[in-house]
Chains A and B, each alone.
Chain A
Amino acid sequence: QQQVKQSPQSLIVQKGGISIINCAYENTAFDYFPWYQQFPGKGPALLIAIRPDVSEKKEGRFTISFNKSAKQFSLHIMDSQPGDSATYFCAASNGGATNKLIFGTGTLLAVQP
């Protein structure tokens, strides 16, 4: 019940294309769903996050789509750029007094020029 399943493991997209990464969760108590971006040799950094009271959140070229009934959420990167090449992690948290995150296994995105 604590797992977050992420797919695909790797993704190659042409510059200008749309990158889509999917995650699924089981624990219905999760109430916070962030996406983290990690460049080689760096720590992860928060990209965008959503709470289950909305079905979509957009920040620039990055959009989270959230389907509460299916217990799935996805990251869409519009107009993908070579600078977006990184590893992306979805995560989930049930809040509470610890703010612990359960991470997906990551997606290595390569945007080809």
Chain B
Amino acid sequence: GESVGLHLPTLSVQEGDNSIINCAYSNSASDYFIWYKQESGKGPQFIIDIRSNMDKRQGQRVTVLLNKTVKHLSLQIAATQPGDSAVYFCAENWGRAGGTSYGKLTFGQGTILTVHP
């Protein structure tokens, strides 16, 4: 079936480096994407979202890039800090009204980001 997945399950960086977390999706009907950060023992925390009519969106220290041609999504974190250490999930929200997938949020497998001081 169609799914959202990640290229790298783990990423280890030094404090101050820039981090790039990748996500591949296979559903060409995908219209909306969200990146979540989940720290140990906590719920997913919304970071940034992007719609399919955009290819880039910036937040505070984070940038999401969307390449619909190759169905690829990435999250860039600038000047990574130890507090950024967490599992990062991309999530896909898609579906036609009345369809069985309408409004559903489907998560990728997640990437563990470890930031070393």
* A and B associate: no
Tell me the B residues contacting A by CB distance below 8 Å.
none
